[in-house]
Amino acid sequence: MTSRQFTAMVARESDDGIALAAETVDEGFLPDGEVTIRVEYSSVNYKDALAVTPRGGVVRRYPIVPGIDIAGVVSASSAPDVAVGDRVVAHGHDIGTARHGGYAQYARVPADQVMVLESMSTREAAGVGTAGFTAAMSVDALVAAGASPADGPVLVTGASGGVGSVSVDILAGLGFEVVASSGKPDAVDLLTDLGAASVIGRLPEDPDATIRPLGTQRWASAVDCVGGRTLAYVLSTTRYGGTVAASGLTGGAALPTTVMPFILRGVTLAGIDSVQAPTHRRRALWKRIEGDLRPAHLDRLIGEITLDDLPEHLDRILAGESVGRGVVRI
């Protein structure tokens, strides 16, 4: 083991809260694992903001290097299927929550958490990252349930954020008529450029309205990363037989709904979890993200920042103000 020193953004907890600061560490700081990665890019996800928020509920122990996405080049490997020099991406499991993550020049992970990239750059892979992988899982869930462009519009909520914007991009690329729901008037041009057929405000349109068990049927299926009253409204307005892929809770963890959409309209609520997705599923989906599910407008979606810009961007994503995918150049 060398004693190579490198820079890491370390979150430490004290009575005053959680402080994120650059530190010089050596390889002994890294956890066990078969694959050491020279990190080129990480990204900014909602979960990364929670990791540096007191009582954010995602980090099991501090200190931790946050950054749930790692994209870089393998610098050491004892795994037969991962070679030094491979371009790789790793995310999910306990990366950035209980194991040091991507906001550092080096990271080390178990081999089964590593995806070797075939055609994407590490910058593009970080641009996809956890949010984009979750978007791909969501779209895949709709298609696996039988959704097709001929069925009619597909709704995407939280459309300007990470999961939402990549979902819009992938769905439009597959030929779906996408209705993008966003609270940001400034994001209309971006969402239209990604291929949204129409952009509407957040749902329900009247935030104080009572959500009826069954509302007017508006969308054939939906990708929701907002949860809360938004998801309840989406369920009540999804057409007969439609599927709603639910992955997030930016609008709240409670789900104030009834069984009516399920038992009277045959609506399916598909739960999406990227964190514990098994290795074979993860690798198969990454191949598709580099293939038929490749977001066509990643360059338009990626906003590149440095480690110095991180605190400001983590605040913005927590406030729901982030647009697209924040990619961190390490």
Ligand X SMILES: NC(=O)c1ccc[n+]([C@@H]2O[C@H](COP(=O)([O-])OP(=O)(O)OC[C@H]3O[C@@H](n4cnc5c(N)ncnc54)[C@H](OP(=O)(O)O)[C@@H]3O)[C@@H](O)[C@H]2O)c1
Nearer to ligand X, 100 or 184 (CB): 184
CB of 29 to ligand X, least distance (A): 27
Q: Measure Cα distances from 175 to 145, 179, 295 in Å.
A: 17, 13, 13
**Residue written as token pair 């560490």:** 25
Nearer to ligand X, 34 or 67 (CB): 67
CB of 320 to ligand X, least distance (A): 3
Nearer to ligand X, 86 or 309 (CB): 309
CB of 164 to ligand X, least distance (A): 6
In the chain, alpha helices (H): 46-51, 122-144, 162-173, 188-194, 228-237, 260-265, 279-289, 298-301, 310-318
Paired tokens of 38:
């020279």
CB atoms within 10 A of CB 316: 15
Nearer to ligand X, 165 or 221 (CB): 165
DSSP 117-132: -SS--HHHHHHHHHHH
CB 65 within 8 A of CB 100: yes
CB of 263 to ligand X, least distance (A): 25
Q: Which residue is nearest to ligand X (CB)?
A: 161
CB of 80 to ligand X, least distance (A): 29
Nearer to ligand X, 161 or 242 (CB): 161
Nearer to ligand X, 162 or 242 (CB): 162
Residues near ligand X, by CB under 6 A: 45-47, 130-131, 134, 158-164, 182-184, 187, 202, 225-226, 230, 247-251, 272-275, 317, 320, 322
CB of 112 to ligand X, least distance (A): 18
Nearer to ligand X, 47 or 87 (CB): 47
Residues with Cβ within 8 Å of residue 245, at least 6 apart in sequence:
137, 138, 139, 141, 142, 221, 222, 223, 224, 270, 272
CB 153 within 8 A of CB 238: no
Paired tokens of 70:
């790692």
CB of 247 to ligand X, least distance (A): 4
Burial class (CB in 10 A: 0-12, 13-18, 19+), 229: buried
CA 34 to the chain's CA centroid: 25
